[in-house]
A and B are shown apart, each in its own frame.
Chain A
């Protein structure tokens, strides 16, 4: 494609501000008279508040408000930042007389300092009736298990008596027939853990009333418009009385696709008529925010002798924790985005999502796919091994390809029927080829794990996909207006959460308008001043918001050319724009600068060149990814080191390749933690044991393997300038590629994440007793 701005490694439009410490983030303002809000977390996993006395806390000088369930409206809602009507159950209350996990809201205070707020919390006297709790998802549906949502006013819960938030069963073809056609059937169980987002900027919200008494919410959110709608509903005020301002966000990864602090912070601001800030501490972030849904996956695949997959059946049991935020949709994705990777005619997906008295799960990069692909790609490797096939060959034979129609997506939409998915671009074969070359697959599959000694090397791979926006649901609008100097204001509802949306959207506008990137000034995510956008999630921003920007820019370009045509006295058809000017495409060459066009329009024609556009897609083109890992397994300590991780991704056209590579590297870093070290652990009473960065182990710089990142660009007809998406898909394949490499290295299958040294050691002793330390005593 012949472009001048799109596809170029241009610097982030907000990069200078960020690296020089300029005011960018929610917490970078200090409002006069601002109070500090703090939430009292429940110390019990399941309890009823029998009596709550706030008088001592209220009497503390400097405390301006103490709120309990008695002081706020009771409106069932979901905190999931999803398009209305949200498919998640309405099972959550601003404050309630019942608490359902350790960390659930009991009360909230606003005081003149953080220390006073903390002191006030300690002065709240609560009498709890402690209820039996259920922490284990496998016990949640049992007869006699405590019912977590026994309140009558919650809605959209699938089966509250059995703690089932959501249930899904979908099938294409006939799976039972499919298994009868198969020569071999493989069935295995996999388990994944509770992972936390660990975004650098915790959740933080500042609320105040403006001069007109309107509620202002400055907040770190991926979903400003959903947040505005939900807060208005919960506090029973008109949407028009609420403004949500999204500054630059310091990482979200799905954790901020959630209305989390905005409601309670608003309630405190309304109660005190003063600005109030609530910011989670890191500890609170771990257990009072959101996490990845833990799942138990039973995967069954039927294959022909030649390795052709004929049928797949995936059964999932997942827990959403105490509230059903994203319960059905994350798990729906585990089926709809994972099973269709193989072209089997018979697919069945069944799932129960249960409540437990544990921290709440929610959206998290990959949105159900990392769990599903861990099962599917681990099983695929096992099948290939049993059939004597190279896993690369197994994927070549079975993977979805150009022109295929994925029918499971038609059945599994977001909370309702979806739309069929047609593969219009597919770089997966090339991803596999280049990823394999990067890791030296053919040679290492043969030569490893021959190395003597107790450290064994192996290589493994996986193939994965994702989506680009939610088909038929995600949509966005944008607006552009021209300034005197030939620059343009671009207003978008989209949220730059650090992934670089402002830059990418500006690049699309600049390319379409024929101006340099510096001529686009972006304002994003302010519900008073930017048009609607469903938000930064589901890998949607580039393709959906970008599509809206391209449409608006095309309309504005037409206006620019109209003015220029008069100035140059040539027909519009003979004009083009590039490099900040409009010029004739016919001889003689004549041109006017963009600034001249702007001055002409504003002061002669009395015309503001401006326009907006809305955009959505009826399909969600998948980006594809092939992940190749080389690991070194210390058979004596159980330590698994990843030596090299090669990730080849088909993102469509990369609007900014440098940023796209950054997204891949960030995703695989979280994928490495998911595979090897990260788990939020609870004790038998539901207490978080490791809510800090010392005990919850994310990868440090010293742990990082050599990374090879390869962009395999394809041109997607539904995307602006051929773009699809990139930020989620690379996380999906890391864990299975590593588990498969471990098998190659030591012949041990690990089907439970994360694979910590103690887990690896245990598996070695169970599955490979001959690798006990008696083996080769070579010092390395």
Chain B
């Protein structure tokens, strides 16, 4: 491991200023970063600690809207009563991450911004994500790679909270040297065809400081369903974040976002439109599942994700719609 200096940020503005130094990297919970430094995936000269910033780990409500500080730990977030009851999908997503140790250290902003867990990238292959010029998964071990939105890199976005936040139509507050900018969650993430080296639009000296959730509408219910290949400490093989606004049996509006299938949280606008104004019957759920996988482009070893994702969309939709 290369040695580095630690500095504490006083506030978001100070953090951004310190990140302006050459080869500086922001650290929140640090649950992933330290491992990456050990593996020489990042070799910073300076770590700018954000945990020293006060009050960035809190949930506050204002005129129905909810603001969540980026430094809130995943564990705290998953237990927050306001989140559990009105933004269930986010609480469930936070709760599904890693292990209790990781949830105690890891932050919401860190989870959203984490680097991919593709085993080529993490194993030191000189791929796009590591500044290289190719994606090794295309002809390699791609069983856990993207079936949507791939190319030239085929990673899947590893975050559980990201699909939930896109499904909730959250807004991300980003601090930079000019002040603050607000980005809709869906526009925060970037496909590899835009920039194969990164997963989002954050610049080197920008930090994700907070997330705003719009006021929860009445009769809205939501859930996060994560398919695991082990009961703990694993990323989603496939996941679905679904938010339904119901009027009795009829679905007024739906937002469906998939995880584990694409380099970004993968929203399904066509499927959402299909569901609007209809009662969610088993037949409609099955149709929605078929439509969800339209355009899927599996690689040699991940075709199983197609039927798996269909099943996840169908079963999650149905169970959420029929939930008492």
Cβ–Cβ contact A684 & B315, under 8 A? no
Nearest chain B CB to A283's CB is how many angstroms away?
A: 9
A773 within 8 A of B: yes
B residues with a Cβ closer than 8 A to A are: 1, 117, 119-120, 122-123, 136, 139-141, 143, 227-234, 237, 282, 285-286, 289, 302, 304, 307-308, 310-312, 314-315, 318-319, 322
Residues of B within 8 Å of A701, CB to CB, are 232
A687 within 8 A of B: yes
8 contacts between A and B (CB under 8 A): A454-B311, A639-B227, A677-B230, A683-B136, A684-B139, A700-B231, A758-B308, A779-B319
Nearest chain B CB to A188's CB is how many angstroms away?
A: 24
Cβ–Cβ contact A694 & B234, under 8 A? yes
A690 within 8 A of B: yes
Cβ–Cβ contact A677 & B119, under 8 A? no
A694-B234, A762-B304, A779-B318 are known contacts. Are A677 and B229 too (CB-CB below 8 A)?
yes
Cβ–Cβ contact A683 & B227, under 8 A? no
- Taking CB atoms and an 8 Å cut-off, the chain A residues in 445-475 that contact chain B are 454
Q: Which of these, A639, A689, A765, contacts B141 with CB under 8 Å?
A: A689
Q: Which of these, B1, B139, B234, B307, contacts A765 with CB under 8 Å?
A: B307
Cβ–Cβ contact B140 & A684, under 8 A? yes
Cα separation A690 to B229 with both chains bound (whole Å): 14
Cα separation A80 to B322 with both chains bound (whole Å): 61
Cβ–Cβ contact B143 & A637, under 8 A? no
Residue of chain B at shortest CB distance from A772: B307
Residues of A within 8 Å of B230, CB to CB, are 677, 697, 699-700, 702-703
Nearest chain A CB to B233's CB is how many angstroms away?
A: 6
Residues of A within 8 Å of B312, CB to CB, are 636-637
Extra contacts besides A691-B123, A773-B311 (7): CB < 8 Å:
A639-B227, A689-B119, A761-B304, A761-B307, A772-B307, A777-B314, A777-B315
Nearest chain B CB to A25's CB is how many angstroms away?
A: 23
Cα separation A681 to B282 with both chains bound (whole Å): 39
Cβ–Cβ contact B304 & A773, under 8 A? no
Residues of A within 8 Å of B139, CB to CB, are 684
Residues of B within 8 Å of A779, CB to CB, are 315, 318-319, 322
Residue of chain B at shortest CB distance from A281: B38
Cβ–Cβ contact A683 & B140, under 8 A? yes
Residue of chain A at shortest CB distance from B238: A637
Cβ–Cβ contact A702 & B231, under 8 A? yes
Q: Which of these, A693, A697, A765, contacts B229 with CB under 8 Å?
A: A697
Cβ–Cβ contact A637 & B140, under 8 A? no
Q: Which of these, A454, A637, A694, A774, contacts B233 with CB under 8 Å?
A: A694
Residues of B within 8 Å of A761, CB to CB, are 304, 307-308
Residues of A within 8 Å of B122, CB to CB, are 692, 695
A638 within 8 A of B: yes
**Band of interface residues on A:** 35 or more
Residue of chain A at shortest CB distance from B98: A694
Write the A675-688 contact mask toward B (1 if CB under 8 angstroms, else 0): 00100010110011
Cα separation A151 to B322 with both chains bound (whole Å): 70
Cα separation A490 to B311 with both chains bound (whole Å): 62
Cβ–Cβ contact A636 & B315, under 8 A? yes
A130 within 8 A of B: no
Residue of chain A at shortest CB distance from B314: A773
Q: Which of these, B123, B233, B302, B322, contacts A689 with CB under 8 Å?
A: B123
Cα separation A774 to B287 with both chains bound (whole Å): 11
Residues of B within 8 Å of A636, CB to CB, are 307-308, 311-312, 315
Residues of A within 8 Å of B233, CB to CB, are 693-694, 700
Nearest chain A CB to B4's CB is how many angstroms away?
A: 13
Residues of B within 8 Å of A115, CB to CB, are 1
Residues of A within 8 Å of B143, CB to CB, are 758
Residue of chain A at shortest CB distance from B38: A281
The interface centre, meaning the residue of B123, B229, B230, B302 with most chain A CB atoms within 10 A of its CB, is B230
Write the A752-780 contact mask toward B (1 if CB under 8 angstroms, else 0): 00001110011001000000111001010
- Taking CB atoms and an 8 Å cut-off, the chain A residues in 642-697 that contact chain B are 677, 681, 683-684, 687-695, 697
Residues of A within 8 Å of B117, CB to CB, are 694
Identify the 7 closest CB pairs spanning chains A and B, nearest first: A636-B311, A702-B231, A779-B319, A758-B304, A700-B232, A703-B231, A702-B232
Q: Which of these, B227, B302, B318, contacts A637 with CB under 8 Å?
A: B227
Nearest chain B CB to A152's CB is how many angstroms away?
A: 36
Nearest chain B CB to A202's CB is how many angstroms away?
A: 16
Residues of A within 8 Å of B141, CB to CB, are 681, 683, 689
Nearest chain B CB to A287's CB is how many angstroms away?
A: 11
Residues of A within 8 Å of B229, CB to CB, are 639, 677, 697, 756-757
Q: Which of these, A454, A637, A697, A773, contacts B234 with CB under 8 Å?
A: A697
Cα separation A655 to B78 with both chains bound (whole Å): 48
Residues of A within 8 Å of B140, CB to CB, are 683-684
Cα separation A592 to B314 with both chains bound (whole Å): 80
Residues of A within 8 Å of B311, CB to CB, are 454, 636-637, 773
Cα separation A699 to B232 with both chains bound (whole Å): 9
Nearest chain A CB to B245's CB is how many angstroms away?
A: 20
Nearest chain A CB to B304's CB is how many angstroms away?
A: 4
The interface centre, meaning the residue of A693, A757, A772 with most chain B CB atoms within 10 A of its CB, is A757
Residues of B within 8 Å of A695, CB to CB, are 119, 122
Cα separation A702 to B312 with both chains bound (whole Å): 22
Cα separation A751 to B315 with both chains bound (whole Å): 29
Nearest chain A CB to B66's CB is how many angstroms away?
A: 29
Residues of B within 8 Å of A757, CB to CB, are 227, 229, 237, 304, 308
Cα separation A777 to B289 with both chains bound (whole Å): 13
Cα separation A95 to B117 with both chains bound (whole Å): 35
Cα separation A773 to B140 with both chains bound (whole Å): 29
Cα separation A697 to B233 with both chains bound (whole Å): 9
Cα separation A724 to B218 with both chains bound (whole Å): 68
Write the A697-727 contact mask toward B (1 if CB under 8 angstroms, else 0): 1011111000000000000000000000000
Cβ–Cβ contact B310 & A773, under 8 A? yes
Nearest chain A CB to B303's CB is how many angstroms away?
A: 9
Residues of B within 8 Å of A773, CB to CB, are 286, 289, 307, 310-311, 314
Residues of A within 8 Å of B123, CB to CB, are 687-689, 691
Residue of chain A at shortest CB distance from B229: A757
